[in-house]
Amino acid sequence: MGSILIVTETSDGKIREASHELASVAQRLAGPLGCTVQSLVMGSGAAPLAESFAKKGGGQVHLAEGEAFAHYNVDAVNAAVRAAVAVSQAELILFSNTPSGWDVAPRVAAGLDAGFVSDCFKLDVEGGKVVFHRRVFNGKLDATLRASSPVVVATVQPGASAAFAGTTEGSVTPLPVPLTGIRARFVEVKAAATRGVDLSKAEIIVSGGRGVGAPDKFPEVIEPLAQALGGAMGASRPVVDAGWLPHAYQVGSSGQTVQPKLYIACGISGAIQHLVGMKTSNYIIAINKDPDAPIFEVADLGVVADLFEIVPALTKAVRAAKGG
């Protein structure tokens, strides 16, 4: 019987939440696919984590233990996954679409001649085969994919599934991993630079995206609204990439995650990398010319219009209301 192999990640001495989400996906698919659930846990001093994961939907857990797995290393993880695949008859190999997952999973797929589908927000079984659901064109369209290879590798979007809840029977087996051919070398982790702009405390954030069009429009159009409301200014990634604003203003998966009472997104299309940074805001207003912009899926209130018409007028109205 083939298996679904979950490749877990650890962080701060714990199995990551995203790995528990993989467990719930695997447990749900196992029956319809006629597969067992097996897992790979890697780390230094990771035996307790493996034991615990076995009881939380991990099934038969293969433990790759040692200093070589103390920090993420693409070659070490690749070797461990290949070793786990060999002993588990894996037909479906699941990674989380995290910086480590997207780094190593396609490499594993190529080495196995396996089909590969990334950043799936949903996996279903139809006719005994997996159907993968993901977005394309930076979140604008939904795509449904199938893979016909005997082994398939997929990465799953963190946060798209619930973490596995409940207790299961499982086991832990040590996994010998040949570690010749490690070429990449972990050097260090540099924490994110201390910010000049702390958006985590702002009650109101007015953010601008690529739609703002030019750097001078930020102090001219976006900042005045933020100031009038007594809030802070933020930006999406393309704005920072273009050098219009420093990284300190970036909201998103590789910037700050914010939860203000009010988030106003101006000219931001709503790629997933931005949404993960602000979608838990208490109330979201989106202003964008494009009615199909993905930002409208998380917004509470939307305005399909030119932000250069709306924002200055709103700023004026806010000032008037405040008696300024």
Partner 1 sequence: MKIMVCLKQVPHQDARLDIDPGGTWIREGSIKFEINSYDTYALEEALQAKDGGGADVFAVSIGPDRCTQTLRTALGMGADRAIHVKDPEAEGSDALGIARILAAIAKQESPDLIFMGLMSDDANFAAVPPMLAELAGVPHTTAAVKIQRQERSLLVDREIEGGAHEVVELPLPCLVAVQTGINQVRYASLKGIMAAKKKPLEVKTVADLGLTGRVGAGAATVRIEKIAPPPKGDRAQILQGSTDQVVTGLLGKIKELGLL
Pick out residues in 268-307 that bind partner 1 (CB under 8 A).
282-286, 291-292, 294, 296-297, 299-305
Among 253, 275, 278, 307, binds partner 1 (CB under 8 A): 253
Q: Least distance in Å: CB of 186 to partner 1?
A: 6
What CA–CA distances, in Å, run from 90 to 33, 38, 50, 148, 176?
12, 8, 18, 15, 17
Nearer to partner 1, 148 or 167 (CB): 148
Q: Footprint of partner 1 on residues 86-145 (CB under 8 A)? A: 98-100, 102-107, 109-111, 113-119, 131, 135-138, 140-145
5 Cβ contact partners less than 8 Å away, ≥ 6 residues apart: 38, 39, 40, 81, 84, 85, 88, 90, 92, 93, 94
Least distance in angstroms from the C-beta of 251 to partner 1: 11
Q: What is the DSSP letter of 113?
A: T
Nearer to partner 1, 47 or 262 (CB): 262
Residue 318 Cβ vs partner 1, minimum distance, rounded to whole Å? 7
- How many residues at the interface with partner 1, by CB under 8 A? 92
- Cβ count within 10 A of residue 316: 14
Euclidean distance between CA atoms 3 and 90, whole angstroms: 4
Residue 179 touches partner 1, criterion: CB under 8 A:
no
> Cβ of 79: how many Cβ atoms within 10 Å?
21
Neighbours of 36 (CB within 10 A): 17
Contact positions with partner 1 (CB under 8 A) in 5-64: none
| Closer to partner 1 by Cβ: residue 196 or 291 | 291
Residue 214 within binding range of partner 1, rule CB under 8 A: no
CB 214 → partner 1: shortest distance, Å?
A: 15
Minimal CA–CA distance to 220: which of 153, 312, 320, 295?
Answer: 312
Beta pairing partners, 286: 265, 302
Answer yes or no: are the C-beta atoms of 233 and 207 closer than 8 Å. yes
Q: Does 76 bind partner 1 (CB under 8 A)?
A: no
- By beta-carbon proximity to partner 1, the closer residue of 51 and 290 is 290
Task: Indicate the residue among 172 and 271 with the shorter CB distance to partner 1.
Answer: 271
